[in-house]
Amino acid sequence: MNTLYEHAFRHVLFPAYEKGLRRRHTLDYMKRYEADQWLDPERLAALQWERLRRLLEHCAQEVPYYRRRWRELGIQVGDLRNLADFSALPVLDKAEIRAHFDEFKADSLKNQLLYKATGGSTGEPLRFGYTRESNDRRIAVMWRGYGWAGARMGRRTLFLWGGSVGEPTRAHRMKDRIYNAAFGRRMLNTFRMSESTMSDFADQIDRYRPAVLVGYVGALYRLAEWLIATGRRVYAPESIIAAAETLHDFQRDAMEEAFGAPVFNTYGCREFMLIAAECEHHSGLHINADHLLVELAGTHGPVPPGQTGTVVVTDLSNYGMPLLRYGNGDMATSCTQGCPCGRGLPLLARVDGRILDVIRTADGRVLPGEFFPHMLKDVPGVTRFQLVQKRLDRLDLAIVRNAAFNDASLAYIQREIDKVLGQSVELHYHFPDDIPLTRSGKLRVTISEL
Ligand SMILES: [Zn+2]
């Protein structure tokens, strides 16, 4: 091979070939997932168990961590006969994965792994490895979930997204631009969002005329608030996809009013990408149960239907660095009903937010993050708020007031909090001029520092 050709092959032809091949895989996976969503719940459960069983056997043969850990626990892979057996295995947390990082890699795949890291906004970042195949499957289920909101490949889609950290190289920016143009997508960096740039964002929506608007909840809500306050109308997309943060009802209402389109909630995390998403019925979020196993755990095993638990996830296709029963730090509530759409994928009733942001009391009560936004939305004069719990018996409520706020507002808040928390908690009020966003541009409405 002459060197010029070799160079061209290595840098141009092979990547193009490989990309073509990989896209074909992703398209094949998409077709499969597209069909499987309509299987009835029993068939899907059987399919999910079959995939889990195969993964467990792989872990027993190939993954040093599970070989050692199961030996210590006195378990053999044959003892795990159903989901209940599997649910008795310990939950993995970040500290455990960090401490035994290399042991989680499968012997035969450890040299072919890709790596990503979680953001550090809620503690130390975590690196994790995954195979190309599992990545292609993640992309396929992502397209399926976004498709429920009408965001199919090639549709004009505008993203209100956090920009990349640091300065991407020119080549990288160029690649992104070509990729986005090819897929009919455009990105707007929400790190630039401020009172003075809001009209730019509105102008960009009018100019691009997206079929679908996708964004961080905080960014979409902030823009919606601004549009409502200033009376500015923008081009109405067909749908809005809310991502990356817990979506509260008051935020959904504001977005639908401001943009004149239905909001589709989605739930994902960096470790697994899309976990669940709303279909056109908005009656909960369909879990990608043919790709992931999602459990909701209580203090004594799985929570009953309709209850809130911590989210425990197993990626059924990541054979390279399998994380069995990974606790991702979120809380969610299961659903007691199916969805009228006919998809067999089970539903989450709602995602309650970070475990860290749930409010607790000394007598063991747990208040989901949803409570305060729900209660405060009807109080006159509250522009923005943030609740911080530093101790079990103390809550600090910061309220950005406007002229409509008065003694009756305060009395109402006190009464409503007494109803759910009794006298077990001291409530302290603060009235700052503003509440800053987090470093990643998110607005956290409740924060637990316990
Ligand atoms: Zn549905």
Q: Read off the CATH number of the domain in which 299 is found.
A: 3.40.50.12780
Same domain, 348 and 392: no
Same domain, 335 and 369: no
Q: Quote the ligand 1 centre to 347 CA distance (angstroms).
A: 8
Same domain, 60 and 198: yes
Q: Would you write out the chain's pLDDT as a tens digit for each of its 450 residues? A: 445 555 555 555 555 655 666 677 888 999 999 999 999 999 999 999 999 999 999 999 999 999 999 999 999 999 999 999 999 999 998 889 989 999 999 999 999 999 988 765 445 678 899 999 999 999 999 999 999 999 988 889 999 986 554 455 666 666 676 667 666 788 888 777 778 889 999 999 999 999 999 998 888 998 999 999 999 999 999 999 999 888 988 899 999 999 999 999 999 988 899 999 999 999 999 999 999 999 999 888 899 989 989 999 999 999 999 999 999 988 899 998 889 999 999 999 999 877 666 777 777 776 766 678 778 877 888 888 888 888 888 889 999 898 889 999 999 988 888 887 777 788 899 999 888 766 555 567 777 777
Q: Quote the ligand 1 centre to 122 CA distance (angstroms).
A: 31
Tally of domains in the chain: 2
Same domain, 134 and 102: yes
Q: Quote the ligand 1 centre to 292 CA distance (angstroms).
A: 18
Contact call for residues 335 and 313 (beta carbons, < 8 A) = no
| CA quadruple 53, 54, 58, 59: dihedral, nearest 10 | -30
**Sign of the dihedral defined by the CA atoms of residues 241, 245, 251, 254, in that order:** negative
Same domain, 338 and 423: no
Of the three residues 354, 369, 399, the one that is the final residue of a domain is 354
Same domain, 348 and 409: no
Q: Quote the ligand 1 centre to 267 CA distance (angstroms).
A: 15
Contact call for residues 215 and 237 (beta carbons, < 8 A) = no
Q: Quote the ligand 1 centre to 144 CA distance (angstroms).
A: 12
Q: Quote the ligand 1 centre to 300 CA distance (angstroms).
A: 30
**Sign of the dihedral defined by the CA atoms of residues 93, 97, 116, 334, in that order:** negative
Q: Which amino acid is at 42?
A: E
Q: Quote the ligand 1 centre to 241 CA distance (angstroms).
A: 15
Q: Quote the ligand 1 centre to 148 CA distance (angstroms).
A: 9
Of the three residues 354, 383, 410, the one that is the final residue of a domain is 354
| CA quadruple 223, 227, 233, 234: dihedral, nearest 10 | -10
Of the three residues 354, 385, 411, the one that is the final residue of a domain is 354
Same domain, 60 and 103: yes
Contact call for residues 387 and 447 (beta carbons, < 8 A) = yes
Tokens, residue 147: 């498709």
Same domain, 19 and 55: yes
Give the C-alpha separation, 438 to 21, whole Å: 40
Q: Which amino acid is at 438?
A: T
DSSP state, residue 65: H
Task: Give the CATH number, domain containing residue 397.
Answer: 3.30.300.30
Same domain, 326 and 373: no
Tokens 């994380």, residue located: 323
Q: Quote the ligand 1 centre to 186 CA distance (angstroms).
A: 28
Same domain, 16 and 40: yes
Tokens, residue 226: 């601004």
Contact call for residues 204 and 115 (beta carbons, < 8 A) = no
Instruction: Report how far apart the first and last C-alpha atoms of the chain are (Å, whole number).
Output: 64
Same domain, 340 and 372: no
246: domain range?
Answer: 1-354
Q: Quote the ligand 1 centre to 342 CA distance (angstroms).
A: 6
CB-based neighbours (< 5 A) of ligand 1, an ion: 279, 281, 339, 341, 343
The pTM of the full predicted model, rounded to 2 decimals, is: 0.79
Give the C-alpha separation, 56 to 119, whole Å: 29
Give the C-alpha separation, 436 to 439, whole Å: 9
Query: In DSSP terms, which residues pair with 147 in a beta bridge?
Result: none
Same domain, 240 and 165: yes
Helix-helix angle 198-208:217-230, to 10 degrees: 100
